[in-house]
């Protein structure tokens, strides 16, 4: 008599259902590489998505395909991106693709939001109360000012940045002291010790701890690791090129031995090395996962050929990990014009004059135009010139609502109600 066959896991059954399904909902309008990325569930997948190639569409369509085409329970799928805005947009787009609220339980969040949820649920394993406080940038700045007994903002930022990079590299205070390369780093490592003690006394964590502490716990506690791996049947990571080593470790731990994940990124769009992002995480995937499948998305849906030719000429100078060439069906397009200006004031003056002339010539509306700048500090001189020329405008971005002084005053009371050990909140409240 044959022994009974072992019952396949839930994820394996869903995957089998998916491969047996003749229904391919979510494929309409996708190009061939996009469709392949959406339907691939046979192992770890890296999608190299060039700018404007529809990567968010691939992620949301894949979520919908797994739920409706393959029978994955929504609460077994976790998608991670880098901003709350992107997470909200991704969740809304996935909801729109699914019928009758079938996305209920789907987790779409930032790395930090996922880490915060993890810590709330596993707080007891780390000596934290479930109502622990999460210190933002101004809280930590005040703490460093208190520890270092200085008001030199440049020095405070430098020390904080050094400790943050150590945390992102998963180095604790003792390891940081051993790795310190000069007098500044040795002093920063000593501050790191006091900083950690103070955070624990306040029953608080900082943003870096939201990734570091879950990684430390998952690596040291097999029960917690097994519980979280069983909750995630497929993990999707957006903007993978901007992950640091700590975030990569968290991704690997959550994906587990099944390696059921889809990482979407582009080595040509990696710009956050200054805050710990490690472009080496892309080739590292190939080393750690020999079965890794790579799909490249090269068709651009956003720009004309001329813009892509200009972009490709600039990108060609980057050190290459993977070769790709963006192309478009949007036609040749207008010539790219580069204007040389004497200084920022002349630049703002030229922008305002160009706006007025183009609008007059084409009878356009002000809402048809946009001015982009790289940093908020560049907005002031452009705003001044637009006001002077009586050009109406709306400023996008700027200070967060939660960074306003009166809002921080109110939230300090709420923090104190949740965590009576939060001394900085108490001091602000009184």
Return the pLDDT at 383: 92
3-state secondary structure 55-120: HHHHHHHHHHHHHHHCCCCHHHEEEEECCHHHHHHHHHHHHHHCCCCCCCCCEEEEHHHHHHHHHH
| CA pair distance 300, 52, nearest whole angstrom | 5
**pLDDT tens by residue, 189-215:** 999 999 999 999 999 999 999 999 999
Return the pLDDT at 151: 86
| CA pair distance 255, 289, nearest whole angstrom | 12
pTM of the model: 0.82
Supply φ then ψ for residue 189, to 5 degrees. Answer: -65, -40
CA torsion angle 121 124 129 134 (round to 10): -60
| CA pair distance 369, 150, nearest whole angstrom | 46
**pLDDT tens by residue, 6-22:** 445 666 666 666 755 54
Query: Helix crossing, 209-220 with 222-231: angle to 10°?
Result: 110
Pick out the chain residues at pLDDT < 50.
Answer: 1-7, 22-24
Tally of CB atoms within 10 A around 198 = 16
| CA pair distance 246, 421, nearest whole angstrom | 28
* Tokens 């996935």 -> residue: 94
Return the pLDDT at 140: 94
- Contact yes or no for 90/60 (Cβ under 8 A): yes
Indicate the DSSP class of residue 242: G
């Amino acid at each position: 008599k044959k022994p009974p066959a072992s019952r396949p896991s839930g994820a394996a059954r869903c995957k089998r259902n998916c491969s047996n399904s003749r229904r391919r909902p979510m494929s309409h309008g996708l190009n061939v590489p996009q469709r392949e990325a959406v339907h691939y569930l046979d192992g770890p997948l890296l999608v190299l998505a060039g700018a404007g190639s529809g990567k968010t569409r691939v992620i949301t369509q894949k979520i919908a395909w797994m739920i409706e085409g393959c029978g994955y329970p929504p609460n077994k799928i976790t998608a991670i991106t880098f901003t709350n805005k992107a997470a909200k947009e991704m969740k809304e787009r996935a909801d729109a693709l699914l019928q009758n609220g079938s996305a209920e339980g789907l987790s779409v969040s930032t790395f930090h939001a996922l880490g915060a949820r993890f810590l709330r649920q596993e707080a007891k394993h780390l000596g934290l109360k479930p109502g622990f406080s999460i210190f933002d940038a101004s809280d930590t700045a005040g703490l460093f000012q208190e520890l270092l007994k200085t008001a030199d903002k440049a020095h405070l930022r430098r020390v904080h940045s050094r400790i943050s990079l150590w945390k992102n590299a998963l180095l604790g205070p003792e390891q940081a002291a051993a790795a310190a390369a000069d007098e500044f780093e040795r002093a920063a490592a000593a501050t790191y010790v006091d900083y950690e003690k103070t955070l624990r006394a306040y029953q608080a964590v900082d943003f870096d701890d939201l990734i570091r502490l879950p990684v430390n716990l998952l690596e040291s506690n097999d029960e917690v690791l097994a519980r979280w791996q069983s909750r995630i049947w497929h993990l999707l990571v957006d903007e993978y090129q901007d992950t640091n080593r700590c975030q990569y470790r968290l991704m690997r731990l959550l994906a587990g031995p099944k390696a059921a994940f889809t990482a979407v990124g582009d080595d040509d769009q990696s710009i956050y090395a200054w805050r710990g992002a490690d472009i080496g995480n892309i080739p590292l995937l190939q080393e750690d996962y020999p079965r890794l499948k790579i799909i490249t998305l090269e068709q651009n849906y956003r720009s004309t050929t001329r813009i892509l030719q200009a972009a490709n000429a600039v990108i060609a100078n980057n050190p290459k990990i993977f070769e790709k060439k963006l192309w478009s069906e949007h036609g040749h397009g207008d010539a790219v014009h580069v204007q040389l200006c004497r200084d920022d004031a002349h630049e703002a003056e030229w922008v305002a004059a160009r706006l007025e002339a183009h609008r007059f010539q084409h009878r356009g509306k002000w809402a048809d135009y946009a001015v982009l700048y790289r940093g908020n500090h560049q907005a002031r001189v452009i705003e001044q010139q637009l006001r002077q020329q009586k050009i109406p405008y709306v400023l996008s971005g700027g200070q967060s609502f939660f960074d306003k002084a009166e809002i921080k005053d109110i939230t300090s009371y709420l923090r104190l109600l949740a965590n009576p050990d939060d001394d900085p909140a108490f001091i602000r409240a009184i």
